[in-house]
A = this chain, B = another copy of it.
Amino acid sequence: MSKASERAYAEIRGLILSGDAPPGAPLTEEALADICGVSRTPVREALRRLEAELYVVRSDSQRLFVADWNSEALAEMFTLRAMLEAHAAARAATRITPAALEALRACNARITAAIAGPEPDVASFLSENRSFHEITIAAADSPRLATMLAALVEQPVVRRTAARYNRTELARSAHEHGELIQAFAAQDAQWAQAVMTGHIRRAFHAFSAAEPVQ
């Protein structure tokens, strides 16, 4: 995406996720344009995107407000993500190329390394974890699925989940990735699906155990 539009998107999303724009707060295009330092045009595009991703909701007539994500909505998000990403894993199992499989192995090796030291490198973990899932989704080779998952996987949520993980849980996460790689190598769709389901749902419960949202 282009520069101003992308910036507006990131900026507004940041306002929402940081809580500066609390749930229910009205969002006017002009005010946001001022804040972002761009004109209304890219702001409008950013808002459309945020609306599609349900960060903002459109009221009775076309006025936008910050959506409130209660715990129920988060639970549904994780459920949908588990369902779809497990399906992606199943597809990937029978489609993945040797090169992608190797990339996953390398990725997970870096994850293991990141959490090996006395002080886990959470930043690296997150970055590599993201790559791992992206490679998997790409291997599933389904644009629709990829689009849907992109709207579903919120990195701030992932980050908070990882922040909640202790060393043991981080290691278990890496272990699950390893098992997923095995399932892919065996081209066992059901196995891959099951492992991914557990992987995401465990993340959900780790997340839920964390302090309430905001």
Give me the interface of A with B, judged by CB distance under 8 Å.
2, 41, 44-45, 48-49, 52, 54, 57, 62, 73, 76-77, 79-80, 83-84, 87, 142-145, 147-148, 151-152
Contacts and interface: CB of A to CB of B under 8 A. Distances in A.
A52 B143 CA distance: 11
B87 A144 contact: no
Q: How many copies does the complex hold?
A: 2
10 contacts: A44-B45, A45-B48, A48-B49, A52-B52, A54-B143, A54-B144, A76-B142, A77-B144, A80-B87, A144-B152
Nearest to A143: B54
Contact of A148 (B48, B62, B80): B80
Contacts of A142: 76
Contacts of A77: 144
A60 B180 CA distance: 32
